[in-house]
Each structure stands twice: as C-alpha cells, then as structure tokens.
C-alpha cells in the first residue's frame, strides 16, 4: 500500500508515502491519545480563562504533544537505552502519574492554580496527550519501520493526529464557553475520570489503552 513515488535520477528526492504505516500510526495514536476523553479535562482546567486564552492553550497543548511524540519517534529508544529504562518501566511509571493526576483532580487540588499556570504543557501535553502509552507506541512503530520513507510516514501520521487533537480541543473550548464556571464549584468528577481511566489501564496493562499498545509491544518483541 505504498503511494507512487517520484524520484530524481540520483534517487535522493523520493516523494512517497507508506499509507499502511501512516494509517497504523494515525489510528494507534488517536486511540491512545484520546482527544475526546481529554476534552472534559481541558474544559475544567481552562474554565477560568478567556476564550483567547483557551484557544491558545489548545494549540500549545497539541503542538507540545506533537513535538514530544515526534522526538520519541526519532530518539526515544536512544534516550531510554542511555538512561537504562525499559519501555515497560516507562509505561508503568507513567500510568501511576496519570492515576495521581486523576486523584488530585477529584480532590480539586489542580483547579486552584489552573487560571494562573501554564497547563498547556503539564498536564495537557504530557501526560494526558503525549502520555506513556503514546511514547511507547511511537517507539515501537518507529522500530518496526526503520526505512526513511516509513519513518516519514510515521511522522506524517503523528502530524495528522495532532491536527485532529487541536480541532477537538478548540471545539471543546466552544462547548466550555456555553457553560461559564462559578468560582466555588468543586472539581469536575468527569474530568478526573478522564485522567483516571488511562492511568488505570496503563498500570494494569502496560499502556494507555488495553488491547492497543500491547499488540504493538508483542509484535516488537
């Protein structure tokens, strides 16, 4: 399922896309990064911000998550090998971090500073979007496809997912504008559940979504 390539005589300028790799990357990351499940958390964290501030946070979160996932696609294995950390250990540790964030959200601890801190990087970009499951999956996908064209197809799949995520968060911003918050509301249980769900899955199954990253891991072994 490769696209037709257009190569120069010296073979250096090939324009081709491995559509199978692109779709595999897109579907895997879309399920794991779960922009729909992240939307309630985004609405709660940005409830005290202006519409322009919420739009900026949505774009920053998507861009930061994309850069992080792309870096792990290209250099993640080298970084983990240098640190002596396995992909499984990264996934389990990240799952506990997601559980902690979800519990703090239920208790309302994160809501006190949501209007004054940059939540686009933490916790939106990481660990909610570019979480341990996404990092593990992108490293496995990159390891499966070592050729240059295949790696470019993986990066293209990452970029496509991030466009969808940015659009989803911007639409969540429109939904949030229709429900202005009251200053004394407790933390949103639905937002806490959005963080707790992938955390439980990462703790028990070695990835953000059971049945999604584990087949990739098995195939890479």
For residue 4, pLDDT over 80 is answered with: no
Looking at the domain assignment, is residue 71 inside a domain?
yes
Q: How far apart are CA 48 and CA 45, in angstroms?
A: 8
Looking at the domain assignment, is residue 5 inside a domain?
no
Looking at the domain assignment, is residue 97 inside a domain?
yes
Looking at the domain assignment, is residue 42 inside a domain?
yes
The pLDDT of residue 87: 74
The pLDDT of residue 153: 92
Q: Which class for 65: exposed (0-12), middle (13-18), buried (19 or more C-beta within 10 A)?
A: buried
The pLDDT of residue 84: 86
Render pLDDT for 86-124 as a digit per residue (tens, 0 to 9): 877 877 877 777 777 777 767 766 554 445 678 888 888
CB atoms within 10 A of CB 218: 9
Percentage of residues in the chain with pLDDT exceeding 90?
Answer: 26
Q: Are 155 and 73 in contact (CB under 8 A)?
A: yes
Give SS3 for 94: helix
Q: Which class for 170: exposed (0-12), middle (13-18), buried (19 or more C-beta within 10 A)?
A: middle
216 confidence band (pLDDT: 50, 70, 90) = very low
Instruction: Please count the residues of the chain.
Output: 221
Q: Are 135 and 65 in contact (CB under 8 A)?
A: no
Q: Are 161 and 34 in contact (CB under 8 A)?
A: no
How high is the mean pLDDT of the chain?
74
Render pLDDT for 114-154 as a digit per residue (tens, 0 to 9): 456 788 888 889 888 998 889 989 999 998 888 888 888 99
Q: How far apart are CA 148 and CA 56, in angstroms?
A: 33
Render pLDDT for 19-72 as a digit per residue (tens, 0 to 9): 999 999 999 999 999 888 888 888 888 888 888 888 999 999 999 999 999 999
182 confidence band (pLDDT: 50, 70, 90) = very low
Q: Where do runs of H (alpha helix) occur along the chain?
A: 19-33, 35-45, 51-83, 87-107, 132-144, 148-177, 189-205, 213-220
For residue 189, pLDDT over 50 is answered with: no
The pLDDT of residue 168: 92
Looking at the domain assignment, is residue 145 inside a domain?
yes
217 confidence band (pLDDT: 50, 70, 90) = very low
Looking at the domain assignment, is residue 8 inside a domain?
no
The pLDDT of residue 62: 94
176 confidence band (pLDDT: 50, 70, 90) = low
The pLDDT of residue 163: 95
Q: How far apart are CA 7 and CA 5, in angstroms?
A: 6
> Euclidean distance between the first and final Cα of the chain, in Å?
24
- 185 Cβ contact list (under 8 Å, min separation 6): none
The pLDDT of residue 117: 73
Q: How far apart are CA 63 and CA 144, in angstroms?
A: 25
For residue 196, pLDDT over 70 is answered with: no
Closest CA to 134 of 59, 82, 62: 62
Looking at the domain assignment, is residue 191 inside a domain?
no
Number of separate domains in the chain: 1
Looking at the domain assignment, is residue 190 inside a domain?
no
Quick one: average pLDDT of 192-206? Answer: 46
53 is in which domain, residue-wise?
19-180+198-220
């Amino acid at each position: 399922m490769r696209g037709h390539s257009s190569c120069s005589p010296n073979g250096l300028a090939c324009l081709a896309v491995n559509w199978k790799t692109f779709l595999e990357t897109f579907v895997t990351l879309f399920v794991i990064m779960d922009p729909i499940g992240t939307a309630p958390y985004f609405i709660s964290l940005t409830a005290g911000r202006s519409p322009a501030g919420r739009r900026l946070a949505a774009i920053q979160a998507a861009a930061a998550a994309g850069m992080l996932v792309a870096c792990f696609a290209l250099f993640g294995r080298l970084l983990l090998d240098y640190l002596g950390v396995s992909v499984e250990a990264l996934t389990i540790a990240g799952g506990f971090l997601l559980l902690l964030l979800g519990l703090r959200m239920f208790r309302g601890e994160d809501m006190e500073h949501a209007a004054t801190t940059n939540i686009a990087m933490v916790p939106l970009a990481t660990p909610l979007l570019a979480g341990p499951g996404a990092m593990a999956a992108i490293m496995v996908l990159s390891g499966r496809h070592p050729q240059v064209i295949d790696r470019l197809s993986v990066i293209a799949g990452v970029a496509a997912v991030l466009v969808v995520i940015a659009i989803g968060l911007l639409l969540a911003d429109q939904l949030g504008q229709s429900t202005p918050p009251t200053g004394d509301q407790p933390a949103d249980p639905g937002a806490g559940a959005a963080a707790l769900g992938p955390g439980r899955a990462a703790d028990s199954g070695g990835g953000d979504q059971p049945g999604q990253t584990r087949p990739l891991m098995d195939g890479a072994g």
